[in-house]
Amino acid sequence: MATISPSLPPQEESAARVVSDQRLRDRFGRALTDLRLSVTDRCNYRCVYCRTGNEGAQYTELAIEEYLRMVRILVSLGIEKVRLTGGEPLLRSGLVEMVRELSTLKTAFLPDGTPTNDGLPLDLALTTNGHLLDGLAMPLKEAGLRRVTVSMDAVDAETFATITRVPRSYDRVLAGIRKAADAGLGPVKVNCVLLRGFNDHQIEGFAAFSRRENVIVRFIEFMPLEEDRSWRPETVVPMREILKRLDAYRPLVELPQHSASETARRFTFDDGIGEIGIIAPVSQPFCGHCSRIRITSDGKLRTCLFSQSDHDLYGRMLRGGTDEQLAAYIRQVVLHKEERHHIGEPGFEKPSRNMVHIGG
């Protein structure tokens, strides 16, 4: 059986933390250093666990300069990492130029929280379905992108087409992953949302894929974020089951996490080849160290994936808010960030938006 080290402290512990620096923090003392920015909610896939609703949905995108202004303000408040998401971000025109602009920004605080005028470059990452990655990996790398994560839920073309409902895309995604690695955007992470009855038969195939392609495969427990609200607990493949399957495939060894706010538990195999991550928001929530805040493609702030409401940052911008006023508004909103999600608990309410309109 895998050697598993005790890692994250229980959720309740978050309230105990009291700190003094000026970085953006919620009332539990959690520093918000990671921004997930959705630059479009258009997507060229119709994945069965996400785009389960109507075809005619409206799409929203702001001007690139408007997103850049929001990011600059958030960086001045302590954001260190920016992950570009969608919908599918590679569909967004002007994305390479946007990355080039973002790569000129520097953090406003040193790692110990001291304000600085000479901070570190932002950690720029992007999550994509990989369909357009082959042609954009190099330009994005040259523009300043550091890391790429590819959402890929199968390692064979047939299952891939069944889940994405897009034919003949698997080979393109594979080519995109290899091109991203060649371009220096690695180690490339491949995120797989596991759904019982759809792709849970792929666990061993993904383990072999990680070892063969030298990518980090991360399994994600299915969360109730789909369009038609069909999520049921029994469709979730929990972490303990994934570990049991992988350990039977080849003995696992747990790896240390890079930081307390990292969402994945990390493992390799007994020969050190391949890396597997497991993100278990349902069976082993990690909200106690949550460092994330999101901006949706229509410019709303979301303090949690499972928020019941949005906060209209873009509206305040349109009404002439100054950077100082918008920064004060963001601080106010973050003070009310949810402590944690309540999936599986009595009274759990699904979020006010689904994944394609949040951006992961």
Binding site for ligand SF4 (CB under 6 A): 286-287, 290, 292, 304-306, 338, 340-341
284 in Cβ contact with 219 (< 8 Å): no
Q: Closer CB to ligand SF4, residue 11 or residue 162?
A: 11
Q: Closer CB to ligand SF4, residue 210 or residue 307?
A: 307
Least gap, CB of 304 to ligand SF4 (angstroms): 3
Distance (Å) of CA 37 to CA 3, 31, 126, 298, 352 = 36, 17, 9, 10, 18
Q: Closer CB to ligand SF4, residue 34 or residue 61?
A: 34
Q: Within 13 Å and on the Cβ side, how many CA atoms surround 306?
A: 17
Q: Closer CB to ligand SF4, residue 147 or residue 341?
A: 341
Distance (Å) of CA 26 to CA 9, 60, 233, 261, 289 = 18, 28, 30, 14, 11
Q: Closer CB to ligand SF4, residue 125 or residue 154?
A: 125
φ, ψ of residue 118 to 5 degrees: the values are: -130, 60
Chain center to CA of 18: 27
Least gap, CB of 2 to ligand SF4 (angstroms): 24
Burial 85-115 (b: 16+ CB within 10 A, else e): bbbbbbbbeebbebbebbbebebbbeeeeee
Distance separating alpha carbons of residues 175 and 180, to the nearest angstrom? 9
Q: Closer CB to ligand SF4, residue 203 or residue 304?
A: 304
Least gap, CB of 302 to ligand SF4 (angstroms): 8
Q: Closer CB to ligand SF4, residue 27 or residue 212?
A: 27
Least gap, CB of 32 to ligand SF4 (angstroms): 10
Q: Closer CB to ligand SF4, residue 27 or residue 106?
A: 27
Least gap, CB of 77 to ligand SF4 (angstroms): 17
Least gap, CB of 137 to ligand SF4 (angstroms): 28
Least gap, CB of 305 to ligand SF4 (angstroms): 4
Q: Closer CB to ligand SF4, residue 130 or residue 285?
A: 285
Q: Closer CB to ligand SF4, residue 45 or residue 306?
A: 306
Least gap, CB of 341 to ligand SF4 (angstroms): 4
Least gap, CB of 158 to ligand SF4 (angstroms): 32
Least gap, CB of 286 to ligand SF4 (angstroms): 6
